[in-house]
Amino acid sequence: MITPIEQELITVNDNDEKTGTTSKSEAHRLGILHRAFSVLIFDTEGKMLLQKRADQKYHSGGLWTNACCSHPRPDETTIEAAHRRLQEEMGFDCPLSYIYKFKYFANLDNDMIEHEMDHIFVGTYSGNIIPDPDEVSSFTYLTLDDISSRIQQEPQSFTIWFKIIFQHYMDHLNTKS
C-alpha cells in the first residue's frame, strides 16, 4: 500500500498544464509546483465548515483549516479527487462547484514547502459529519466574520494555506458584489 507521503502528484506549469508526476514528499520537500484542490463547505445559514487537523499529521497538525484539501491522483480529475477526499476526511459528500484556481507558495513546518496550483470548490452541506480521526480531531461551522476575527487574533491556530485561501475567497466575494 502506498503511504500518503509516497502518493504521486501531478506536476504542472504556471498555466496548470501537466508536466509530469512526482512523489508528495519530493514535491513538498523541493517546492515543486503541483495540482491541488481545496473544498469550502457551507451550511444553509452560510457558515463555513472548518476542521482541526489531527495532531499526528506529518505537517500542520492541530491547526484549523477548511473542510478538506488534497491532491488529485494522476488517474483522476480534480473534481473526482475533491469528492473522494471529502468523503475520506469528513465522512460525507455533497455537490461541489468549481469557482476558480490560483497559485501560491508557502513554507510549512518540518521544512516542507507548499507550491500549489489550487483549485477551489464550494458546496453546501448540513447533515451528519463523521470525520476520520486519523485526519481530523474536531470540526465546527463559523461565520466568515468569525473566521476573519479568529485569523487576526490567533493566526498561529490556522494552516498557512487556509489563511491564503480564505483571503482569496474573501477577495473573490468582494469582486462579485
Q: Which residues are catalytic?
A: 69, 116
Cα separation, 115 vs 165, whole angstroms: 13
Cα separation, 135 vs 78, whole angstroms: 20
What does the block give as the cell for 56? 499526528
Other CB atoms closer than 10 Å to residue 142's CB: what's the count?
A: 15
What's the half-sphere exposure (Cβ side, CA atoms, 13 Å) at 45?
Answer: 8
Cα separation, 135 vs 143, whole angstroms: 23
112: closest CA among 37, 1, 4? 4
